[in-house]
Amino acid sequence: MTTGKTIVFFPEGAYGPTNNCAGIGAVLRARGHRVVFILEESFAGTLAAKGFEERLMRLGPPPAEPEIPGQFWIDFIRDTAPVFRKPTIQQLGEFIAPTFQALIDGAKYVNPRLEEIIEELAPDVIVEDNVVSFPAVMASGRPWVRLLSCNPAEVKDPLVAPFSSGYPAADRSEWQAFLDEVHHTHAAMWNDFDTFCREHGAGGLTWGMNGPDFMHDSPYLNIYSYPAEADYHRAEPLAPTWHQLDSTVRAADTTWELPEPLASRQGALIYLSLGSLGSADVGLMQRLVDLLGKTQHRVIVSKGPLADQITLHDNMTGAGFLPQPAILPQVDLVITHGGNNTVVESFHHGKPMIVLPLFWDQVDNAQRVHETGFGRRLATYDFADAELTDAIDALLADTVLHARMATIAARMQSTAGTVRAADLIERLALTGEPVIR
């Protein structure tokens, strides 16, 4: 290895993207590179605890009260939760567009601070994992990587259902109406952000036949993680700077053991997690907990940031935050919100899923898991009790599916996606040249 390089990671302010970047960053740090994370102030110390340097920024004016990590989005999700009960086409104007607007407002607010950080660090490469562009990155003149930790439907294609629609690949009857509503609800906002990007040196955005992009592709390197068996068929090949990895699952940095008396109790072991954002809907979480409490199964519950408001039953254990990479290998079934990180990690460990999506790409992941036969999608707020319990029983009893997923898991684990991602990023840092597949 030659002289160590300075590699900067800039993940979205949520645990999924941050953890994904941390896994890759750990590989690069072990190779002698300087790895620095740009984080929201509410995440201060979380990456330092893992041995990384941090540079802090804000996406808006500071609040009157101290924040917990990701507080901005926890509050946003809590206040917007009623919209999740509506069809995805109705969510466009009431949730998706306001979310994009909040992200855009953050990108505009933080741009001067990002310029300062980039100038100070003088990185050899910047790795950005966000869903909107931050022009300071593109305008820096430094090689940069787009790391996509959302469902790959975010990269548009005529054969892929519109992003955040959750529509089936085999039925295009509603696609155009959805795209028409995207235009109605997003056009003015997109035009404004496109102008901002151009004025601040990032170049223009694109709006094609399949909808708008709020994030630039990197001319150097683009990476997404999704199992090949569940990935989309495309009419148009991705640009040669795009690289598909089956997973970039981080290694477990701690052990976890099922406590007694659950460890010696009979019954399948189920992991319930609606993610750090989805679990902010305490009513939904408590309904699931109460329903699972009536079964003979054992349940591990990731309670999220509002853990003290969720009451568990005798067949359960849980905490606000759990070491998911250490837990997933032990369970028989995952009940998830469909966040990309959890979905990919479940594939990585060969676990069938019941997906209860709330928003964004969760609906796309839920549909993809369902239509490829790796689990079941249920209506998050409208499922009958028996639908959930019947789905649990059917998936636990499906020996063919378990064997199929075990084979996929073995292949995914053998590909060492985190190492491959680090290889690609390191190559860019060392050469400064586009990384072509």
CA distance 39 to 20: 14
Q: Is 242 helix (H, G, I), strand (E, B) or coil?
A: strand
- Best CA proximity match to 8, nearest among 33, 32, 38, 46: 38
Q: Which residue has the higher pLDDT, 160 or 250?
A: 160
- Whether 20 shows a pLDDT value over 90: the answer reads no
Question: Could you give the residue ranges of the DSSP H alpha helices within 140-248?
Answer: 175-199
Residue type, 417: G
3 state SS of 10: strand
The pLDDT tens digits of the residues spanning 258-286 come to 999 999 999 999 999 998 778 888 899 99
Looking at the predicted structure, is the pLDDT value of residue 62 above 90? no
What is the per-residue pLDDT for 239? 96
Between 306 and 126, the more confident residue is 126
Average pLDDT value for residue range 48-70: 84
d(CA 245, CA 177): 32
CB 145 within 8 A of CB 128: yes
Share the mean pLDDT of the chain.
Answer: 93
Q: Distance of CA 222 to CAs 146, 181, 380, 437, Å?
A: 5, 29, 32, 10
> What is the structure's pLDDT at 36?
98
| pLDDT tens figures, 155-197 | 999 999 999 999 999 999 999 999 999 999 999 999 999 999 9
Q: What is the pLDDT of residue 275?
A: 85
Cα of first residue to Cα of last residue in the chain, in angstroms, is 22
Which pTM value belongs to this model?
0.92
Question: What's the average model confidence in pLDDT over 393-416?
Answer: 94
Query: Whole-angstrom Cα distance, residue 166 to residue 58?
Result: 32
Q: Tell the burial category of 54 from Cβ atoms under 10 Å away from its Cβ (0-12, 13-18, 19+).
A: middle
Q: pLDDT tier at 73 (50, 70, 90 boundaries)?
A: low
Residue type, 272: L
When pLDDT is averaged across residues 202-222 and rounded to a whole number, the result is 97
DSSP label at residue 332: S
The contacts of residue 323 (CB under 8 Å, 6+ apart) are 252, 253, 254, 256
Say how many C-beta atoms besides its own lie within 10 A of residue 122's C-beta.
10
Report the C-alpha gap between 190 and 198 in whole angstroms.
12
> Could you say which DSSP state residue 120 is in?
H
Is residue 1 over pLDDT 50?
Answer: no
- Pairwise CA distance, residues 217 & 435, whole Å: 13
d(CA 197, CA 188): 14
- Going along the chain from its start, the domains and CATH numbers come out as 6-246+416-431 (3.40.50.2000), 262-414 (3.40.50.2000)
- For residue 228, is pLDDT > 60? yes
Can you give the pLDDT at residue 67? Answer: 62
Cβ(127)–Cβ(10) below 8 Å: yes
pLDDT at position 15 over 80: no
* Gap between the Cα atoms of 333 and 395, Å rounded: 8
Handedness of CA 120, 123, 129, 135 (dihedral sign): positive
Residue 168: per-residue pLDDT: 97
| pLDDT tens for each residue of 358-397 | 989 999 999 999 999 999 999 999 999 999 999 999 999 9
pLDDT-above-70 percentage for the chain: 96
Q: How many CA atoms does the CB half-sphere of 313 hold within 13 Å?
A: 16
> What is the pLDDT, as a whole number, of residue 189?
98
Q: Which residues pair with 125 in a beta bridge?
A: 7
pLDDT value of position 77: 65
pLDDT band at 74 (very low <50, low <70, confident <90, very high): low
Give the model's pLDDT for residue 76: 67
Which of 349, 347, 348 has its CA nearest to residue 375?
Answer: 347
